[in-house]
Structure 1
Amino acid sequence: MRQRITPKDFLKKNWLLVAILACICLAGVYPKLGSKEGPLKTEFSVKYGAVSLMFLISGFSLKTDSIIHTFRQYKLHLFIQLFTFVLIPIYAQCFIKFLTMFGINGWVLKGIVTVACMPPPVSSAVILTRAAQGNETAAIFNSVIGSFLGIIITPLSLLLNLGSTTIVPLFSTVMQLTSTVLLPLALGQAIKTLTSFRGHQIPLNTISQCALLFVIYTTFCDTFLVPETGLSALDVIFTIFSVLLLQIALIILSFKISSSMKKSFTPADVIAIVFCSTHKSLTLGKFTFLIKVVSKLNIFFLFSGIPILKIMFHGYSHLSQISLPLLVYHPTQIILGGLMVSQLKDWLHSQRRRKLPV
């Protein structure tokens, strides 16, 4: 007889998903509070507060032995980076050829390809991996490495896939990754190594997840304040459905391939792969690319890897179509990630039980 799941049990098991949905609702009620122009000063409180705090806690939590072991997992790192920077853009090109049969706006399709060329996220993939009890060290390593690689690979990928030229502020991007990710990680490890502090009396995992929720809340505040796109309702519906379908397909593909490679990847590795290889620049999100799309019209637009678009030029007719997939991909990957945490955790435990001697 199946055990009846009470609302309390459901909330305990899926509290992160419920909290994410609550953040979205709160952001929708009064988005100006958590926007970049709002009183919370998110340009500082998110980048140098919440994100740095998450990686400082990760520095406390990580075992030095696991860090050394992770450096040696070259197959895992190679899989994630190739999936992110090679397979996804190729898959996106095939996917949009399928979508053209349904008459979807061609500029929206260009936006989907643009999403596919983006680097992986940093903080969200790490926190979701930890929440699902996956390989957190591998998630941190690949998120950071992917972000650095994105400085070079993303412009080249955009050029190859869209025929666009890209200017990247290399120094500021490296400095930001160093100050908000690497330094907090190193500081956490140093405190753990040089002092007796271990944080056992402090709910570090809960604090880290709350920091992520703050990032999600402020991100959605910015999303709700984005100006009207001027697109038809049909374009918007098609875009949401297409992006959701793309993400689900990538999640299934990454999970099926990695979980079948049992000799190379543990179940914990598979969880890190699913989040790190399919998400696109979620919370660090200060990569700024100035793109000149080579076409009949020269379109300049500025976007951040969160991705929360700031519409810099309103006079170009195709800008909103290209921007829309970038805006849609972000919230859907957050919601899907929240949905997957408890399922992946259950799958991980079931895999471990199978290996236990009878």
Structure 2
Amino acid sequence: MGIVERIKKEWFLLGIVFVISMAKVEPSFGIKGGPLKPEYTVKYFAVSFIFFNSGLSLKTEDLTSALFQVKLHGFIQTFTLVFIPCLIRVLIKGLQYSPINPWLLKGLMVVGCMPPPVSSAVILTKAVGGNEAAAIFNSALGSFLGIFVTPVLLLLFLGSPSAVPYSTIFGQLTMTVVAPLIVGQVVRRFVKDWLERSKPPFGTISSCTLLLIIYTTFCDTFSSSDIELDHFSLVSIVCVVLLIQVCLLLLLFFVTRSPSFGFTPSDVVSLMFCATHKSLTLGIPMLKIVFAGYEHLSVISIPLLVYHPTQILLGGVLVSPVRTWMLAAQKVKVIGASKSSNTNSHAAPGEAV
């Protein structure tokens, strides 16, 4: 494969590296209040556009069928809102004897309590070619559950007083996730024939929008000057976050392929991304509310700030190999079904005799 072809294939991963580098060079352009105005362009337009784009590109019958994949939805929500918090709680029990800053460990627990994200898991699932309808459904469902479940989890694991304005967050999610998705589906009914003829590059458009979100996220991270930590704690928490994500992805990949679950290869893809990703979009506002007035709020936020771009970076790296596996697994499944069908057809005459 030539260099140009390789660049075309891995453009999204290269784009991630590029926008992070640009955020490091000049973070003031994409910070809150900066020229890019991410508090409006990203918070409202970018996320809304991603779900409008998904609603426009997704066949209504596919989204409808996703509603009935109860086992898949139950697995994802239980894994991300029950299993992960408990796993991280056990991990922190061991890490509390290490020299790592205890406020960073609290921040790690906060990560475990967060709901799935509203954009990255959907786009990565779409980039691989997995069950996008299930990814959209679970991103929306997880976000709404997170409004109620996350404060309870924070109270349970951290003992922090929580007074989250549910109506405000619920309204924001409705306007940025549900409404754009419905509008996209409605518009699709009127332009369905044109969409099938022209086949717009929905995946590329969504990926470019996600690059904008990544850029502004890193601008805020690099511009934070009130964060004071020893290098050991910071490097350690980055390594722990990376290790957690790799272990969760591997666990899901190997466990959910078991025939006992009955998940298809495309289901496994949506499981990997939706069940392991955590929301920065919902997380940071919740942190500012739940930990309002805390002197160490910025330190508590670090693990989530690390987790969010790490999950996207890992996802970008995994897109190509996971797509290759999924296509191969689907091919094997089709061949197996074909052989089974042929065997049954050949056995039929003998049975009749």
Seq. identity, %: 49
User: Would the aligned equivalents of 1:134 and 1:268 in 2 still touch at CA under 8 Å?
Assistant: yes
C-alpha separation between the residues in 2 aligned to 1:63 and 1:259? Answer: 26
C-alpha separation between the residues in 1 aligned to 2:5 and 2:94? Answer: 42
User: Would the aligned equivalents of 1:223 and 1:327 in 2 still touch at CA under 8 Å?
Assistant: yes
Shift in Å, 1:88: 0.2
Amino acid at match of 1:338: G
Q: 1:37-56 maps to which residues of 2 (within 5 A)?
A: 37-56=33-52
Deviations 1:217-273 (A, max 9, x none): 111111111124211111111111111111111111222221224652111111111
Equivalent pairs, count: 334
Deviations 1:70-103 (A, max 9, x none): 0000000000000010000111012122323543
C-alpha separation between the residues in 1 aligned to 2:14 and 2:40? Answer: 26
Shift in Å, 1:12: 2.3
Shift in Å, 1:42: 1.3
Q: 1:53-68 maps to which residues of 2 (within 5 A)?
A: 53-68=49-64
1:145 to 133, 141, 144: 141
Shift in Å, 1:324: 2.3
Amino acid at match of 1:353: K
Whether 1:338 and 2:334 are equivalent positions in the alignment is no
Amino acid at match of 1:257: V
Q: TM-score, normalised by structure 2?
A: 0.89
1:225 to 194, 207, 223: 223
User: Would the aligned equivalents of 1:215 and 1:283 in 2 still touch at CA under 8 Å?
Assistant: no
User: Would the aligned equivalents of 1:23 and 1:216 in 2 still touch at CA under 8 Å?
Assistant: yes
1:108 to 104, 113, 119: 104
Amino acid at match of 1:226: S
Match of 1:198 in 2: 195
**Which protein has the bigger helix share?**
2
Cα distance, 1:335–1:274 mapped onto 2, change above 3 Å: same
Cα RMSD (Å): 2.0
Match of 2:181 in 1: 185
User: Would the aligned equivalents of 1:55 and 1:184 in 2 still touch at CA under 8 Å?
Assistant: yes
Q: TM-score, normalised by structure 1?
A: 0.88
Q: Where do 5+ consecutive residues of structure 1 fail to align?
A: 293-299, 302-311
C-alpha separation between the residues in 1 aligned to 2:282 and 2:119? Answer: 7
**Which protein has the bigger strand share?**
1
Shift in Å, 1:284: 6.3
Whether 1:248 and 2:246 are equivalent positions in the alignment is yes
Amino acid at match of 2:124: L
Q: 1:56-135 maps to which residues of 2 (within 5 A)?
A: 56-135=52-131
User: Would the aligned equivalents of 2:55 and 2:184 in 1 still touch at CA under 8 Å?
Assistant: yes
Match of 1:348 in 2: 326
C-alpha separation between the residues in 1 aligned to 2:259 and 2:155? Answer: 33
1:328 to 302, 306, 309: 306
Point out the structure with max Rg over C-alpha.
2
User: Would the aligned equivalents of 2:107 and 2:300 in 1 still touch at CA under 8 Å?
Assistant: yes
Q: Where do 5+ consecutive residues of structure 2 fail to align?
A: 340-353
